[in-house]
Amino acid sequence: MAHSEGKYADFEGLRERALALRRAGLSRRQIRDRLHVDNNDILNRLLEGEPPPEWTKRPNAKDDLRDRARELRLQGWTYDQIQVELGCSKSSISLWVRDLPKPERRDSAEQARLAGRKRWEHELAVREERRQQTKAAATAEIGELSDRDLFMVGVALYWAEGGKDKPYARRESVTFVNSDPGMIEIFLAWLDLLGVERERLRYSVMIHESADTSAAEAYWAGLVGADRSAFYKTTLKKHNPKTVRKNTGDSYRGCLAVRVLKGSDLYRRIEGWWYGIVGAARHVDLQNQT
């Protein structure tokens, strides 16, 4: 008796906790198990005057708990985990799920593999976060582009990716082909800087025949802001069944070719600009060596 009195000495404090749990929707059994009150008379006094939650009045309230306990057991939960989740006693859980197969215990090797996989997934997440932070910091370093910045970028971009004249095939024309939307946008901004009117531009899509051609054409037309009349017929690349293509899915839109009409003079200037950049770089390199 002395033990019981000591256990419930702070009756008012215990009652406040019991009432809070009751108002939170817990059943008598859940409150009893949560507060470790094993005396029904004490429990009645703790909850005196506080009506039970509506769900405990339903005739199938215990059936709901039973069904949920069985569902969790089939998912491999232990008695302890189900008890914490549902607030039921282990004896009730045992009665409800005793006909179900016991969850299979994983052997130590499998547990080690699972632990290793979780560690690796965590490491990948950390690496990805670092990658994104590095990219974001580098993006912020660029700031605004001056006209000269854009001019120099455009010259180098064209000489790397654009069509070039060859001694054996004179093609002094301006044609830029790329699958990266960002590259296309920079190239168009560069042409705007040079004063090339958009009316002088013609476009054509180059894409695998097995791709969604119509979607690709609509995407590129929207990106460059041009009417479909400015587009030549799409070039379809024959699919080789012996190769496994990785550029598939909704994000694959092929390449866009941008051509400048009457662009021979512009091409000669681009070539001259490029050689000027090369010469200036060589001069800087010689200065650094002295």
Q: State residue 3's pLDDT score.
A: 40
Delimit the domains of the chain by residue range.
Answer: 2-97, 109-143, 147-289
Q: What tokens does 57 get?
A: 């009045």
How many angstroms separate the CA atoms of 203 and 175, rounded? 10
Q: Is the pTM of this model over 0.75?
A: no
Closest C-alpha to 219, from 172, 249, 253? 253
Q: What tokens does 159 get?
A: 């000489």
Please, where are the H alpha helices in 143-171?
147-161
Q: State residue 241's pLDDT score.
A: 67
How many angstroms separate the CA atoms of 267 and 273, rounded? 10
Sequence-distant (6+) residues with CB within 8 A of 103 are 73, 76, 77, 78
Q: State residue 189's pLDDT score.
A: 96
* Three-class secondary structure of residue 283 per DSSP: helix
Q: State residue 288's pLDDT score.
A: 58
Query: Contact, 218 vs 246, CB < 8 A?
Result: no
Q: State residue 31's pLDDT score.
A: 87
Q: State residue 56's pLDDT score.
A: 57
Strand stretches in the chain, DSSP E = 174-178, 201-208, 235-237, 255-260
Please identify which residue in the block is written with the tokens 């749990």: 21
Q: State residue 57's pLDDT score.
A: 56
Taking only the tens of pLDDT, the chain with its 290 residues reads: 334 456 667 888 888 888 888 888 888 888 888 888 888 788 888 888 888 776 655 555 577 888 888 988 888 888 888 887 888 888 889 889 888 888 776 666 776 777 788 788 888 988 999 999 998 999 999 989 999 999 999 999 999 999 998 877 777 899 999 999 999 999 999 999 999 999 999 999 999 988 889 999 999 999 999 998 999 999 998 877 666 666 667 788 999 999 999 999 999 999 999 999 999 988 776 555 54
How many angstroms separate the CA atoms of 156 and 147, rounded? 14
Q: State residue 88's pLDDT score.
A: 83
